[in-house]
Protein backbone atom coordinates (compact mmCIF):
# COMPACT_ATOMS: atom_id res chain seq x y z
CA UNK A 1 0.00 0.00 0.00
CA UNK A 2 1.24 3.50 -0.85
CA UNK A 3 1.82 5.93 2.01
CA UNK A 4 -1.16 7.76 3.49
CA UNK A 5 -0.32 11.41 4.14
CA UNK A 6 -2.55 13.25 6.59
CA UNK A 7 -2.58 16.99 5.93
CA UNK A 8 -4.58 19.88 7.29
CA UNK A 9 -4.41 23.00 9.37
CA UNK A 10 -2.96 22.86 12.85
CA UNK A 11 -5.45 21.44 15.31
CA UNK A 12 -7.42 19.48 12.69
CA UNK A 13 -6.48 16.18 14.37
CA UNK A 14 -3.68 14.85 12.18
CA UNK A 15 -1.58 13.36 14.99
CA UNK A 16 -4.48 11.83 16.91
CA UNK A 17 -6.19 10.46 13.80
CA UNK A 18 -2.87 9.24 12.39
CA UNK A 19 -2.13 7.19 15.49
CA UNK A 20 -5.58 5.58 15.51
CA UNK A 21 -5.55 4.98 11.75
CA UNK A 22 -2.13 3.32 12.00
CA UNK A 23 -3.40 1.12 14.83
CA UNK A 24 -6.47 0.02 12.84
CA UNK A 25 -4.50 -0.63 9.64
CA UNK A 26 -1.61 -2.21 11.54
CA UNK A 27 0.89 0.22 9.98
CA UNK A 28 3.59 2.41 11.50
CA UNK A 29 2.89 6.13 11.87
CA UNK A 30 5.56 8.78 11.37
CA UNK A 31 5.16 12.49 12.06
CA UNK A 32 7.14 14.97 9.97
CA UNK A 33 7.43 17.45 12.86
CA UNK A 34 8.73 14.74 15.22
CA UNK A 35 11.22 13.58 12.60
CA UNK A 36 12.49 17.17 12.21
CA UNK A 37 12.83 17.47 16.00
CA UNK A 38 14.91 14.27 16.04
CA UNK A 39 17.07 15.29 13.09
CA UNK A 40 17.73 18.86 14.29
CA UNK A 41 17.82 17.95 17.99
CA UNK A 42 15.66 20.95 18.90
CA UNK A 43 11.97 21.76 19.22
CA UNK A 44 9.96 23.29 16.39
CA UNK A 45 9.70 26.46 18.45
CA UNK A 46 13.50 26.57 18.86
CA UNK A 47 14.02 26.01 15.12
CA UNK A 48 11.69 28.91 14.31
CA UNK A 49 13.38 31.16 16.86
CA UNK A 50 16.95 30.29 15.89
CA UNK A 51 16.71 29.72 12.11
CA UNK A 52 13.32 31.03 11.00
CA UNK A 53 10.41 29.64 9.03
CA UNK A 54 12.29 29.28 5.71
CA UNK A 55 14.82 26.91 7.28
CA UNK A 56 12.01 24.95 8.92
CA UNK A 57 10.16 24.60 5.59
CA UNK A 58 13.37 23.34 3.94
CA UNK A 59 13.73 20.80 6.74
CA UNK A 60 10.15 19.64 6.12
CA UNK A 61 10.89 18.95 2.47
CA UNK A 62 14.09 17.05 3.33
CA UNK A 63 12.36 14.90 5.94
CA UNK A 64 9.35 14.23 3.72
CA UNK A 65 11.60 12.75 1.04
CA UNK A 66 13.56 10.67 3.55
CA UNK A 67 10.47 8.92 4.95
CA UNK A 68 9.18 5.60 3.61
CA UNK A 69 6.54 5.75 0.86
CA UNK A 70 4.94 2.33 1.34
CA UNK A 71 2.93 0.75 4.16
CA UNK A 72 3.05 3.82 6.42
CA UNK A 73 0.86 6.62 7.76
CA UNK A 74 2.60 10.00 7.71
CA UNK A 75 1.20 12.89 9.70
CA UNK A 76 2.39 16.27 8.52
CA UNK A 77 2.84 19.74 9.89
CA UNK A 78 0.08 22.19 9.02
CA UNK A 79 2.25 24.19 6.64
CA UNK A 80 3.86 21.37 4.66
CA UNK A 81 1.40 21.94 1.81
CA UNK A 82 2.63 25.49 1.21
CA UNK A 83 5.48 24.10 -0.90
CA UNK A 84 4.38 22.78 -4.30
CA UNK A 85 7.27 20.31 -4.25
CA UNK A 86 5.85 18.73 -1.07
CA UNK A 87 2.29 18.53 -2.45
CA UNK A 88 3.53 16.91 -5.66
CA UNK A 89 5.74 14.45 -3.76
CA UNK A 90 2.89 13.34 -1.51
CA UNK A 91 0.45 12.95 -4.42
CA UNK A 92 2.87 10.85 -6.47
CA UNK A 93 4.05 8.74 -3.52
CA UNK A 94 0.73 8.09 -1.81
CA UNK A 95 -2.76 9.20 -0.91
CA UNK A 96 -3.18 12.69 0.54
CA UNK A 97 -6.00 12.90 3.08
CA UNK A 98 -7.01 16.42 4.11
CA UNK A 99 -8.41 16.61 7.63
CA UNK A 100 -10.55 19.70 8.02
CA UNK A 101 -12.22 21.12 11.11
CA UNK A 102 -14.36 24.16 11.75
CA UNK A 103 -12.07 27.14 12.40
CA UNK A 104 -13.79 27.97 15.71
CA UNK A 105 -12.96 24.47 16.93
CA UNK A 106 -9.37 24.79 15.68
CA UNK A 107 -8.96 28.14 17.42
CA UNK A 108 -10.07 26.64 20.73
CA UNK A 109 -7.60 23.76 20.29
CA UNK A 110 -4.50 25.79 19.37
CA UNK A 111 -4.55 29.42 20.47
CA UNK A 112 -2.91 28.84 23.86
CA UNK A 113 -0.46 26.17 22.69
CA UNK A 114 3.06 27.60 22.98
CA UNK A 115 4.42 24.65 20.97
CA UNK A 116 2.69 26.03 17.88
CA UNK A 117 4.84 29.03 16.92
CA UNK A 118 2.52 30.16 14.14
CA UNK A 119 -0.63 29.95 16.30
CA UNK A 120 0.11 30.86 19.87
CA UNK A 121 -0.92 34.39 20.75
CA UNK A 122 -2.73 34.93 17.43
CA UNK A 123 -6.23 36.33 17.40
CA UNK A 124 -8.99 34.25 15.85
CA UNK A 125 -8.98 36.61 12.85
CA UNK A 126 -5.22 36.17 12.36
CA UNK A 127 -5.60 32.39 12.56
CA UNK A 128 -8.43 32.50 10.01
CA UNK A 129 -6.24 34.65 7.72
CA UNK A 130 -3.42 32.09 8.01
CA UNK A 131 -5.84 29.30 7.16
CA UNK A 132 -7.26 31.25 4.21
CA UNK A 133 -3.74 31.76 2.85
CA UNK A 134 -3.32 27.96 2.75
CA UNK A 135 -6.78 26.64 1.89
CA UNK A 136 -6.07 26.26 -1.85
CA UNK A 137 -3.00 24.17 -1.04
CA UNK A 138 -4.95 21.99 1.41
CA UNK A 139 -7.59 21.29 -1.23
CA UNK A 140 -4.89 19.82 -3.50
CA UNK A 141 -5.52 16.38 -2.00
CA UNK A 142 -6.89 12.93 -2.79
CA UNK A 143 -9.78 13.14 -0.33
CA UNK A 144 -11.11 15.48 2.33
CA UNK A 145 -12.57 14.46 5.70
CA UNK A 146 -14.29 16.85 8.10
CA UNK A 147 -13.22 16.13 11.70
CA UNK A 148 -15.53 18.69 13.35
CA UNK A 149 -17.66 17.22 16.15
CA UNK A 150 -16.87 13.62 15.22
CA UNK A 151 -15.43 10.87 17.34
CA UNK A 152 -11.95 9.63 16.46
CA UNK A 153 -13.21 6.16 15.51
CA UNK A 154 -15.84 7.68 13.19
CA UNK A 155 -13.18 9.70 11.39
CA UNK A 156 -10.81 6.74 11.08
CA UNK A 157 -13.58 4.47 9.79
CA UNK A 158 -14.57 7.12 7.23
CA UNK A 159 -10.97 7.39 6.00
CA UNK A 160 -10.60 3.61 5.70
CA UNK A 161 -13.90 3.32 3.85
CA UNK A 162 -13.06 6.14 1.45
CA UNK A 163 -9.58 4.74 0.78
CA UNK A 164 -11.25 1.58 -0.55
CA UNK A 165 -13.44 3.51 -3.03
Contact indicator for 83, 75 with CB cutoff of 8 Å: no
Q: Does 57 count as an annotated binding residue? A: yes
Q: Does 84 count as an annotated binding residue? A: no
Q: Does 78 count as an annotated binding residue? A: yes
Q: Does 162 count as an annotated binding residue? A: no
Q: Does 79 count as an annotated binding residue? A: no
Q: Does 16 count as an annotated binding residue? A: yes
Q: Does 8 count as an annotated binding residue? A: no
Q: Does 14 count as an annotated binding residue? A: yes
Q: Does 40 count as an annotated binding residue? A: no
Q: Does 61 count as an annotated binding residue? A: no
Helix H segments across 111-151? 124-138
Which run of H or E residues covers position 29? strand 29-31
d(CA 144, CA 138): 9
Helices 84-93 and 53-66: crossing angle, nearest 10°?
A: 20
Q: Does 52 count as an annotated binding residue? A: no
Binding residues: 11-16, 33, 57, 78, 116, 134
Binding residues for substrate: 33, 57, 78, 134
Amino acid sequence: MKAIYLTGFMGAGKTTIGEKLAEKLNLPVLDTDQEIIKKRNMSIKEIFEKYGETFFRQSETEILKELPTKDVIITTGGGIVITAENRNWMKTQGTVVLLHADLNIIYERVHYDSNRPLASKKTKEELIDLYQSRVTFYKDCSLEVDTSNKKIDEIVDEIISRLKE
